[in-house]
Amino acid sequence: MWRKLNGEPLKEGIESETEYAIQREMALGHRLKVCIGSDSQVRGQTIEFATVIVFLREGKGGFMFIQNESFRGAMSLKERMITEVSKSVTTAYQLCNLLDQYHVELEVHADINTDPSFKSNVALREAMGYIMGMGYTFKAKPEAFASSSCADKVIN
C-alpha cells in the first residue's frame, strides 16, 4: 500500500493520487520532476524493500509517496539489486503515460555504485540496461538520491 511520508495511506490508486498531485502542483505554478527509486535491507530471514516516488518542485523542495514490501527468503546481492530496480521500473511503467501527458520529466534511480570497488557494482550493467531499455533516464550513485537517500530512510 502506498502512503505519504507522514504515514497517511493514499486513498486512491497510485495513478490517481499521482495525477491529483501533479494537477495540484501545476495549479500552484510549480514545475515538477519525478524520480523513482527503491532500496532494500536484509534483516535476518527477511528482506525489506522500500520504493519511493519523489516529486521535485523546481526550486521549491518536494514530497514523496512510499511503498514498503517484505520478502521472506534469501537473495544474492545481485538478485536483490535487480529486484530493487524491477520495483522502480514497474512503478515507472505504471506512471509513464500520465507523466508524459503532463510533460513531467521522469528519472529512475538505482541504489548501485558506479565505482567497481563497491559490491553493488556487480549489478550496474544489468540495471542500466534494464532501465534504459525501457526508455527511462537512468541515475546511479552518487546521483541516485531517490533510492540511496529517500528510499533508504523509509525502509521499515
Count of domains observed in the chain: 1
CB atoms within 10 A of CB 55: 19
* pLDDT tens, N- to C-terminus, the chain (156 residues): 999 999 999 999 999 999 999 999 999 999 999 999 999 999 999 999 999 999 999 999 999 999 999 999 999 999 999 999 999 999 999 999 999 999 999 999 999 999 889 888 889 999 999 999 999 999 999 999 999 999 999 987
pLDDT score of 101: 98
We report the CATH number of the domain holding residue 86 as 3.30.420
What separation, in Å, do the N-terminal and C-terminal C-alpha atoms of the chain show?
13
CB atoms within 10 A of CB 11: 9
Q: Are 15 and 25 in contact (CB under 8 A)?
A: no
Parent domain of 95 = 2-153
CB atoms within 10 A of CB 93: 14
Amino acid identity of 79? Answer: E
Q: How far apart are CA 57 and CA 34, in angstroms?
A: 9
Mind listing the pLDDT tens digit for each residue in 63-83?
999 999 999 999 999 999 999
Q: Are 155 and 51 in contact (CB under 8 A)?
A: no
CB atoms within 10 A of CB 123: 25
